[in-house]
Amino acid sequence: MNYRYQQLCALAGVALVLLVFPLLIIMGFFPPPSPAEGSAAIAAHYQSKSSWIFLLGGAVCVQMSAPGVMWSAAISVQLRHIEKNEPPIFSLTNIACGVVAFSVFTFACAGWVICAFRPERAPEIIQTMNDWSFIVFLGTVTPLMGQAVTIGLAIFSDRSDKPVFPRWAGFMNCWAALIFLPAGLIPFFKTGPFAWHGFFGLWLPVLVFGGWMLVMSILVLRAISKQKISADLTTQLAD
């Protein structure tokens, strides 16, 4: 079994969190400029720092779709262990939602790169691209919710003597899905807790997202380690 590659994929999720969050802070996007600000203020944000900060930070974030999909694949392998000989509905749904979620992530981050590529352009254009980026980045919640709900349901369906994931992780995933939901309301608010810089639009879902990825990465690594030990023991007994 390719346990080492599975571990690499699980660690890709950790790398994504540890890279993206600091970059968002450096670019001044955590918290981001208020959606209530005018076009001149939004353009000034991209002109207030060296364009290389936004170009480099945005370009790195754009490339994070691959680690995100790798992380999703590592989880799907574990969900397949839960499904055993059953139809692979959980594992397939998880990887499909992961591909969509992290592809959307790429497109959203590309908007920041476009804003910084020509910061001298008309403020209205920069504001439009900035709006597009943040609404897509934070507001496209259903793929992540689909992942979390699928993982949770798979965990609850695991009735084996040695479950792949602990049962509390199922509740964690379901709660994460609920916490992601309010971010889908950000297109309707420019101020308040549901705007893209508010508590329910940014802080709670983004921080929970980071914690969710890290916890699931750890759980996947533990599951892989147990499976490797079991496989090695079986091989030794067979010899």
- Answer yes or no: is pLDDT of 206 > 90: yes
Q: What's the pLDDT tens digit per position in 90-145?
A: 999 999 999 999 999 999 999 999 998 988 899 999 999 999 999 999 999 999 99
Q: What is the pTM of this model?
A: 0.91
| DSSP SS3 for 201 | helix
- Answer yes or no: is pLDDT of 228 > 70: yes
CA separation for the pair 128, 126 (Å, rounded): 5
- Answer yes or no: is pLDDT of 231 > 80: no
Higher pLDDT, 179 or 116: 179
- Answer yes or no: is pLDDT of 2 > 90: no
CA separation for the pair 214, 225 (Å, rounded): 17
Q: What's the pLDDT tens digit per position in 142-170?
A: 999 999 999 999 999 999 889 999 999 99
Q: State residue 232's pLDDT score.
A: 64
Q: State residue 234's pLDDT score.
A: 65
Q: State residue 155's pLDDT score.
A: 97
Q: State residue 13's pLDDT score.
A: 94
Q: State residue 50's pLDDT score.
A: 75
Q: What angle do CA 56, 108, 77 make, to 5 degrees?
A: 95
Q: Are 172 and 215 in contact (CB under 8 A)?
A: yes
Q: Single out the residue of 209, 218, 200 nearest to residue 175, CA to CA.
A: 209
Q: State residue 229's pLDDT score.
A: 80
Q: State residue 1's pLDDT score.
A: 59
Give the DSSP H or E segment for 185.
Answer: none
Confidence band, pLDDT 50/70/90 cuts, at residue 230: confident
Q: What's the pLDDT tens digit per position in 28-80?
A: 898 899 999 999 999 998 888 777 888 889 899 999 999 999 999 999 999 99
- Answer yes or no: is pLDDT of 236 > 70: no
Chain centroid to CA 18: 12
Q: State residue 147's pLDDT score.
A: 97
Task: State the DSSP code for 35.
Answer: T
